[in-house]
């Protein structure tokens, strides 16, 4: 737990949220500023600032984040239509919250390359 971290506060419940899913390792919340009809964030309970801080000890956890993203997309009917999963890392990629989170976006067409 990092006392200055927004997502640690959401995980701890000191900032209220309406989770779409919670388990021992992960919490999934709707993005406050959705960029698509489905825009959720898969957040590990453990504070890991960026993908650069991921170690071998986190491999199973990050794997579970992706499986949870796929489960959510399937639940919402986007598995076959398509959806996007994104980790933004550091300034040039637009990371604004320094506690890793996997964006799950679905329900519209996404351009490639991304902006």
Q: Which residues bind Zn ion (CB under 5 A)?
A: 2, 5, 7-8, 47, 99
Is residue 113 reached through a cis peptide bond, with omega within 30 degrees of 0 on the bond before it? yes
Binding-site size for ligand AMP (CB under 6 A) equals: 11
Answer yes or no: 101 catalytic. yes
Distance CA 44, CA 27 (A): 6
Question: Least Å distance between CB 108 and Zn ion?
Answer: 29
Residue among 56 and 87 whose Cβ is closer to ligand AMP: 87
Distance CA 92, CA 64 (A): 26
The reply to whether 32 sits near ligand AMP by the rule CB under 6 A is: yes
């Amino acid at each position: 737990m990092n006392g200055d971290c927004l997502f640690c506060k959401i995980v701890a419940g000191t900032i209220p949220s309406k989770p779409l899913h919670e388990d021992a390792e992960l919490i999934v919340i709707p993005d406050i500023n959705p960029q698509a009809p489905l825009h959720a964030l898969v957040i590990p309970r453990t504070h890991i600032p960026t993908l650069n801080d991921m170690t071998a000890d986190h491999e199973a956890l990050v794997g579970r984040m992706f499986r949870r993203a796929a489960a959510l997309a399937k639940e919402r009917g986007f598995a076959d239509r398509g959806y996007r999963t994104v980790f933004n890392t550091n300034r040039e990629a637009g990371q604004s919250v320094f506690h890793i989170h996997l964006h799950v976006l679905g329900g519209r067409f996404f351009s490639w390359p991304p902006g």
